[in-house]
Every structure is written in C-alpha cells, then in structure tokens.
A and B are shown apart, each in its own frame.
Chain A
Amino acid sequence: MKPKKLLQVALGVLTSIGGFLDVGAIATAADAGASFRFRLLWVVALGTLVVIFLAEMVGRLAAVSKHAYADAVRERFGFQFYFWPLLAEFIVDFLVLGAEIGGVCIALQLLTGISFRWWAIPVAFAVWLTAWFGTFKVIENSVALLGLVTIAFVVGAFHLGLPWGEAGRGFIPSAPPQDAAHYWFVAVSIMGALVSPYVLYFYSSGAIEDGWGTRELQVNRLVATVGMGFGSVVQMGMLATAALVLAPRGISIDDYGQVALTLVGPFGLWGFYLFVASLGVTCFGACMEQGLETAYISSQAFGWNWGESKSPRKAARFSMAYTLSIFASSLIMLAGIDPLKLTMFSMALTALMLPLVIVPLLVIMNDRNYLGEHTNGWVTNLAVGLIIGLTFVLALFAIPLEYLGG
C-alpha cells in the first residue's frame, strides 16, 4: 500500500474510533460493567460486528454510486416513504444530541462544580462556532486525535489485572443472574449506542465530502473494520474498568459522578481528569457529528446544497439546519433533564428505530442500479437482518419493562 493511502487509512481509522465513542458508549458500558460485570461483553462484540458491516456498506454505497445514504433512500423510495425514517431520525437526533451536549456539560460540572444546566448554552455555542468556522477535515481529524485519550480505559483495565477467564466467558451469551429486565434493557441500549444511525449517515456523507470512488473500496473496508474494531476495544475497556472498580464495591450507575470513579480506581487523581477529558472530548466531537448529520439528512432529503467544506454562505440552509438542531437540543439540558437518564432512554429508543433505517439500506445494497457488481452477499444480508430484527423485538419489550417496572 502506498504511503499516501496508508495515511488515509490511518486517519480514517482514527476518525472511526472518535466517531464510535460518545456519551451512549460511555454510559451503557459503565452501566453494563457495574451491574453485570463482564456478562454483557457479547452484546458489545455483536453490535460491533453489525456496525462494521453497516459502515462498510454505506461507505461502499457512497464510493460506488456517489450517493450519500439518505440521498439514496430518498431517490430509491421517493420522499413519501423517506419521510418516516427521516422523522424517526429527527426525533432520535434531537434526544441524542441533547444527551451529547449533556455529556460535555457534565464533564464541565465535574471539573467546576457548577451545575450542568448552566453549561448548556455555552457548550451549544462552542459546538456551533466550531461547525460554522471549521472545515470537515479539521473537525474530523481533531476529534479523532483528541478522542485517543479514551485509550486510558483499556490501559486502566490491564492495570487493574483483567481476569481473562471471566472476561472471556463474557463473550458467550448467557442468561442474566438477576434483574432480567435491566439486563435486557442495558443490552438493547448498548446495541442502540453502537449501531447509531447517525454514525452511518455521517460516515457516508463524509465519504462523499472526501470524494471517494471505487479506488477507495479497500480503504473503506479497512477503515470500517479496524476503526470500528478499535473503538469497540475501547468500549470493552470502559465496561471492564466499571466491572473491576464499581461492581466489587456494590456501586451501580445512577449518576455520571459515579462513572467518573472508574478511572480513579486505576489512576487516582489523574484518572479523574482522564475521565473528564474522555467524556468532554468524545461528547464534543459527537455533538458536532450529530449536529452536522442532522444537516446532512435534511439537505439530502430536501435537495438543498450541502457540505461542511462549503462556506455557510454557499450552503445557507445546510448551515441553518445544524444551527437550529444544536440550539434546540441544548434546551433539553437547560430544562434540567437528567443527562444519564436521557442517554439511556435515547440509546434504547435508537435500537427501536433501527429497522426503519436499516431495512431500506439493505434493499439499496442489493440494487444493481446503485451498486453494480458490488452488491451485498447473502451472509451480510442475513446476519445484519437477523441481528437488527432481534434487537428490535428485544427493545419492544425491554423498554416498557424497564420504565414501567421502575
């Protein structure tokens, strides 16, 4: 592989790690580790497999057909059909972006003691300023590099002495030891956090912005597999540190203040600051990706001029869409809604919405008009279809049981 291509892969991998981790990954992994030790590692592995398949698919779609994912769904099925996945995505985006802004606000609260509510508007403004003045490349690469701070979770898990046998058994699906409703709710939330449709929309729009063609198919495969794979290892590290620090002490997760202790265990005061940095940086990056993704799907749905690399004057409605989205979602935090509860709810809701987003993708990925000779194989179709279907059915029962059961 040529040096230029290697650099492209390395940057892509870094971006995927950054894009993979967000408030949902942190909250769901910590809850899983604290409540069930290593028993939910299999869900992280399964979700990673699906998101690798899906990211590779949307990247391939963009490279071969020159269509971003939302653009292709609208064109293939018509606007009347696309309206429903679009509406579902808007609702989920609104909540998830609120949770991501909440993650940055909580990081600032942990650092200063000033309540997260007061940070909602300043954080929204900082996210908006970065999106307004930054280009796609700058945003993508800075988020990716800063996101590497999260490797602290993996180092922490090793530092604490990972019990390999128990961790290994966590990759085999098992029945919950107690509290089955919460076990399945956390499992569904992990899937929602991993298989976030916004990552797919953002990935495919990014591939278009980067001008991918069929030459980049190999890069796409590597970036999707290695990048998402590494991201998953970091999330497993988060789960493991929670399992090793919080579970033995009988600490379950009701508040982000408790999650901060996961890195205090292995690293002391440095661990506290590493946690704050991890939460702040990954959530800030996710805020920008989420805000831009809302603008991408709106623009692609309504046929507006779009592109983060274009100046706001040249893509006015695109810029207006992310501006509105960022400030509207910040209102959730301003209202004082618990960021952790919002995160867990929005991740579970994402899992419920998955079929609406993934089924049209599977149809397009088997359409020769778009993919030519690069259509999906039957193994990919079957694996992704089955896992998404199962997640949907689980979400259908786990969400009401978790909330109505208190």
Chain B
Amino acid sequence: MSRRAQGLRPWVWQRISALYLGVFLIYFVSSFALIERFDFSLWSQWMTGPVNSIIIFIGFLMLFVHAWVGIKDVIMDYIHPVVIRSVVLLLAGLGLLVCLIWLSRTLLLALMK
C-alpha cells in the first residue's frame, strides 16, 4: 500500500470488524431473547455448537481488531507526549491481547469438555 493510503487500512478493518460484530450481536441477541428458561446447558451448548464456535472465535478476533483500532485512535487523539503515548499504546495492546487469549482459552476448554 502506498504511503498516502497508510491510514486507509485500519479504517477498512474498523468497518469490516464493525459489520461482523454488528451482525453477530443481532444473531446473539435473537438466539436468547425469547428463551424461557436460561441455564448452563443451553448456554454452553450454544457456545460450543460446531458452527457457532467458529463464528464466535472469528468474533473474538474481530473484537480484538475493532477494539485495538478504536482505542489506538482515542489514545493518539488525547495523549501527545511520545513516551507516555507509546507506553499507554503498549499497555492497551497487551491488555487486549491478554483478553483475546483468555477468551479463546475459555472457548477451547469448553469445547474439549
């Protein structure tokens, strides 16, 4: 990608992930909205379904991308000193990465049961 279009890639990713997460949110809410008795077996079966678990795992990746592009823009807008900015960016990125690994681990452990 040319240097002039450097800002375009995160912009496109933000939209792709937003679309995925938005459609997923509708699917998630509509799956549980009309349920009478919400319990563990229903919840874990939904989360570990063969198709659902793949959709959810991609959702985790999309959430990570979306959150990173978003928080990066916010940090760059409000924190200007280079050193503090870099440290905060690093901490935010690491925090999100830990969340992504934690979410994936949770889903994998549930799948292996």
Chains A and B belong together in one complex: no
